Structure 1
Amino acid sequence: MDLATLKEACSQYKKPTEFKPSYGTAGFRADASVLSSTVFRCGLLMAMRALKTGSVTGLVVTASHNPVEDNGVKLVEPTGYMLDQAWEVWANKLAAADDADDTCAVIQELFQAEDIPYGSGTVMLAHDTRPSADTLVKAAAAGVAAMGSLPIACGLLTTPQLHWMVRQCNARLKHKEKAYFEALATGYARLVSGTQALGEGLVVDCANGVGAAKLQVLADRLAPGMAAELRNTDGAEGRGLNESCGADFLQKERRLPAGFHDVPDGARCASLDGDADRLVYFRRHGSELELFDGDRIAVLAALLVMNILKMLPATEQQAPFTVGIVQTAYANGASTAYIKERLRAEVRLTPTGVKHLHAAAEEFDVGIYFEANGHGTVLFSAALVQRLHELGDESAPAKALLALVDMVNQAVGDALSGVLLVEAALRRKGWGLDQWAALYTDLPSRQLKVKVADRSVVATSHAETRVVSPAGLQLLIDDAVAAAPQGRAFVRPSGTEDVVRVYAEAASRAAADDLARAVARAVHATTAGVGPPP
């Protein structure tokens, strides 16, 4: 490592004096105008991660469902998963370094602490449709190159596509974008073989993001077997990105996305977010929206998998493979009850954040996780996949599960893969949205945000369902919950901004709204909330 050359490169990407970047659930996000130093340093970090692991790593420039003026960066492990949690500390240290000297000092500290060998690694880079992407991808590439490593420009991709490509590359399998489309499309075709196409087409809100062009490729490959009408597809220069549309907008606001007011009542619709790693389904009832969120997708996926597992030869069922559904406290209580009481499957509760759910899902032969916001996937253990291959052509259920293994992006939540998962599950069941909706009835819920001066004043335990500090807040929440019929509520600090998020559910919409407001007022009163109480 040439320290003088490295220091010169670092000096070209100075951190704005007042900017205090902080690693959130999946990376860094902020106004794009202040992010160049952070993205450059993430390039440094992922080059070092590649040297440490001896494998290819990845970096995606995206701010997911944030407004177009924001941008960010997501970091990809050789496995295709999110950045190893132990390295999040180093990401924060690098991003917070004041100048070139401090940045180089952190780099030297990291090399020593992690015993990183010197050499040249490879980092794959991608970006979404934001107009700031070009500048920030150049910053990432400069960071990789400053470490003497090779940046590979993969261009415009969804976040899940790059995760999949990194995973495949390190497994020495076909990993170009063409191979991604081939795996998903052929897996879907095999899984739905012999079933009837759904009676009506799917209408998709693409959030004016990168998923529009990519989903169109899949739809074209699968036509006429999967008819899809894509809307909110103007991703040019970030126009309309996540603006009154997208999975996060629907899940939070419970309102129809822009451009959907002429969709017929009851039509099957889906919504992606800006970088296509979240998915929700919905249908219109007049001006109202009925949401099929991540909880319902998880239940549908579990039904699909468990039904096929039951069809395996009797000898395979004597020592059944384990199936687990991983949820967070945001999961609707009705979905949790259905999984436990009707599916009789194990439910594992984790803190919010895909990194927590993904790790828990790996503990099962089939681990299913979808956050309520629609970010999730299905994981299959190596032991199960090996056994399915051993059964081979002699078992139609084994072939169906292997098709599912190919179709599902097991690196990370993937809205495109998720669309195929839902469509295949409905086709194999012969269901429309009515049957899916009838599985259980959601308890009404409400989410609010309370602005605070410092989100770190709120600490939680028990998978974020109990408040540890500030003192007295949990007692106020307990009192509010006790007063609400079938009440449940919790709070958690945001991972990306100085707000405390409030979740409440109860037997009626009015009761859920009242409970959410009561809890929000309690947060405001105990945390020096900014502005008037909710």
Structure 2
Amino acid sequence: MLTGLEIEIRNVGRDGGVLNEGVGADYVQKEKVAPSGFGSADVGTRCASLDGDADRLVYFRVLSPSSNTIDLVDGDKILTLFAVFIKKQLSILNKKENKDIASGLSARLGIVQTAYANGASTDYLKQLGLEVVFTPTGVKYLHKKASEYDIGIYFEANGHGTVLFSEDFISRLEAKEKELASSCAGSEYHNAALRLLAVTELINQAVGDALSGLLLVEAVLQYFGWSIQRWSELYHDLPSRQLKVKVADRTAVVTANAETQVVKPLGLQAVIDAETVKHSRGRCFIRPSGTEDIIRVYAEASTQEAADSLAQSVVQHVASVLGSGNPQK
């Protein structure tokens, strides 16, 4: 399934230093700059960054020899890559002109995201005809929801995620592969079944695993013949802004609908909606921190200026309703 892959490993920590300082998936995803040890010689090269315990994965390419700016390919696009690949294999298996087998292979494929997923990724996935659902923030919620599908794919933008296959689906897939091996071995239908089986064996379904995720990314890119640039251009992220504002009591904010709607205080959601509709492709939600008296604000819109303006406006409304200090990035 995967041939000719050469991997050069950097920043392995042999020289000491602070874990994840200036490197790692979290640093690359949040700062959107190349990690330490990458520079002008890497322009255009497909690069991946893992975090210290190897459960998060993001990709990037250095854009210019004169700066450390990058094109970030985050968890949303890793999810999209896997979804496109799996959907294609299922489509092959269920072609109506496939006369070599009595029936195709039914499967409920679900895409699970949180409200922090970029809206452009959600729009793209829905345009492909995929079922996209949302959960509250946190891997435990994503994983639980994904397990309800025959095939469930979840990733956070930070690169933490995986693909889950139900035992029933794996059993039916194995039976289908055997059927195809006897009736049309080597056909596109048989190869599609083999590819899906290979994914079930490669991906770590127990927990986010950046190493198995990296190998699956590389296999899928090789299958499609895509460069990292081609992959990145599947869709273009909407500009976004995240702010947080200190409040007297974070428990005063209660949310629903996977944290996208404010239930309490009454009237605050209407104010957020009123600000959001002022901006093209605007979207905004707030959620309380789980550990400190802070309300987190996420906003996105068609331009960075609009996203910034939306976030700042909502911060001011939150502050006026709940009392606050200054907004923080």
**Structure 2 length-normalised TM:** 0.87
Q: 1:528 aligns with which of 304, 318, 323?
A: 323
Q: Quote the residue 1:390 is aligned against.
A: 175
1:449 touches 1:501 (CA, 8 Å); kept in 2? yes
Q: Quote the residue 1:233 is aligned against.
A: 12
Q: Deviations over 1:436-469 (max 9, x none)?
A: 1221121111112223344322211111001122
Unaligned 5+ residue runs, structure 2?
Answer: 182-189
Equivalences for 1:333-372 in 2 at 5 Å? 333-341=119-127, 343-372=128-157
Q: Deviations over 1:247-272 (max 9, x none)?
A: 22222232332332344222111111
2:246 touches 2:327 (CA, 8 Å); kept in 1? no
2:8 aligns to what SS in structure 1?
A: strand
1:485 aligns with 2:309: no
Q: Quote the residue 2:106 is aligned against.
A: 320
Equivalences for 1:10-159 in 2 at 5 Å? none
1:472 touches 1:526 (CA, 8 Å); kept in 2? no
Q: 2:71 aligns with which of 290, 297, 313?
A: 290
2:9 aligns to what SS in structure 1?
A: strand
Q: 1:485 to 1:324 in 2, by over 3 A?
A: same
Shift of 1:373: 1.5
CA distance in 2: counterparts of 1:245 and 1:458, whole angstroms: 35
CA distance in 1: counterparts of 2:216 and 2:262, whole angstroms: 36
Q: Deviations over 1:303-324 (max 9, x none)?
A: 1112222233744764621111
Q: 1:473 to 1:327 in 2, by over 3 A?
A: same
Q: Deviations over 1:97-122 (max 9, x none)?
A: xxxxxxxxxxxxxxxxxxxxxxxxxx
1:367 touches 1:380 (CA, 8 Å); kept in 2? yes
CA distance in 1: counterparts of 2:6 and 2:110, whole angstroms: 32
Task: For 1:267, give the aligned amino acid.
Answer: T
Q: Quote the residue 1:515 is aligned against.
A: 310
CA distance in 2: counterparts of 1:445 and 1:258, whole angstroms: 25
Q: 1:416 to 1:397 in 2, by over 3 A?
A: same
Task: For 2:307, give the aligned amino acid.
Answer: A
Q: 1:316 to 1:309 in 2, by over 3 A?
A: farther
2:150 touches 2:168 (CA, 8 Å); kept in 1? yes
1:252 aligns to what SS in structure 2?
A: helix
Identity, % of aligned positions: 54
Q: Deviations over 1:2-61 (max 9, x none)?
A: xxxxxxxxxxxxxxxxxxxxxxxxxxxxxxxxxxxxxxxxxxxxxxxxxxxxxxxxxxxx
Q: Deviations over 1:283-329 (max 9, x none)?
A: 12123221111111111001111222223374476462111111111
1:298 touches 1:369 (CA, 8 Å); kept in 2? yes
1:431 aligns with 2:212: no
1:464 aligns with 2:242: no
CA distance in 1: counterparts of 2:171 and 2:226, whole angstroms: 31
CA distance in 2: counterparts of 1:452 and 1:235, whole angstroms: 43
2:164 aligns to what SS in structure 1?
A: strand
1:310 touches 1:317 (CA, 8 Å); kept in 2? no
Higher relative contact order (CA closer than 8 Å, sequence separation 6+): 2
CA distance in 2: counterparts of 1:370 and 1:454, whole angstroms: 31
Q: Quote the residue 2:187 is aligned against.
A: none
Q: 1:263 to 1:414 in 2, by over 3 A?
A: farther
Instruction: Name the count of aligned residue pairs.
Output: 310
2:93 aligns to what SS in structure 1?
A: coil
Shift of 1:382: 0.9
Mean Cα displacement is larger for which, 454-463 or 414-423? 454-463
CA distance in 2: counterparts of 1:442 and 1:533, whole angstroms: 24
1:272 touches 1:279 (CA, 8 Å); kept in 2? yes
Shift of 1:356: 1.1
Task: For 2:256, give the aligned amino acid.
Answer: S
The structure where helix makes up a greater share of residues is 1
Q: Quote the residue 1:271 is aligned against.
A: 49
1:473 aligns with 2:254: no
1:532 aligns to what SS in structure 2?
A: strand
Q: Deviations over 1:80-109 (max 9, x none)?
A: xxxxxxxxxxxxxxxxxxxxxxxxxxxxxx
CA distance in 1: counterparts of 2:144 and 2:29, whole angstroms: 24
Q: 1:355 to 1:422 in 2, by over 3 A?
A: same
2:238 aligns to what SS in structure 1?
A: coil
| RMSD (Å), alpha carbons | 2.1
CA distance in 2: counterparts of 1:402 and 1:434, whole angstroms: 28
CA distance in 1: counterparts of 2:70 and 2:59, whole angstroms: 10
Task: For 2:106, give the aligned amino acid.
Answer: P
Q: Deviations over 1:366-417 (max 9, x none)?
A: 1111112211100111112112222345133222211111110001111111
**Structure 1 length-normalised TM:** 0.55
CA distance in 2: counterparts of 1:241 and 1:392, whole angstroms: 45
Rg larger in 1 or in 2? 1
2:272 touches 2:314 (CA, 8 Å); kept in 1? yes
Shift of 1:429: 0.6
1:336 aligns to what SS in structure 2?
A: helix
Q: Quote the residue 2:29 is aligned against.
A: 251
Q: Quote the residue 1:41 is aligned against.
A: none
Q: 1:454 to 1:418 in 2, by over 3 A?
A: farther
Q: 1:522 to 1:384 in 2, by over 3 A?
A: same
Q: Deviations over 1:188-233 (max 9, x none)?
A: xxx33xxxx5xxxxxxxxxxxxxxxxxxxxxxxxxxx321222222
Shift of 1:473: 2.8
1:252 touches 1:447 (CA, 8 Å); kept in 2? no
